[in-house]
Amino acid sequence: MIVVTRLNNTRFAINPDLIERIQSSPDTTLTLVGGTSYIVTESMEQVIEMIASYRAGVIARARALPSFDGTSAPVLGIVPMPTDRLKSSTPARTGMR
């Protein structure tokens, strides 16, 4: 969640994944995917930076989580299929029908 400020100086938290668009003309307006709009005192650039920092924090926390074996979290990537498993699960082709 990011914390933003309404024009009456009350603060509230909003889920940045629900923000569809941010407009600045001249007040900054956050429009959510459901159509709800909020006018906030922060600039568009500030809101974008808050969203980027929030997402970077989510990734950093996910990387810091221990894996199931108690070591640090593994690096994400494509897991290659072992060749012996591939050979045993694929029927042999002889070229005959």
- Residue 14: count other Cβ atoms within 10 Å of its Cβ: 19
Segments making up each domain of the chain, as ranges = 2-6+18-37
pLDDT of residue 93: 56
User: Confidence class of residue 62 from pLDDT cuts 50, 70 and 90?
Assistant: confident
Backbone angles phi, psi at 74, to 5 degrees: -70, 160
pTM given for the model: 0.67
Amino acid identity for residue 49 in this structure = E
Residue 2 pairs in a beta bridge with 14
Chain segment 4-61, per-residue pLDDT in tens: 999 999 999 999 999 999 999 999 999 999 999 999 999 999 999 999 999 999 999 8
Q: What CA–CA distance (Å, rounded) separates 85 from 48? A: 47
Q: Which two tokens stand for residue 49?
A: 């930076």
pLDDT of residue 82: 75
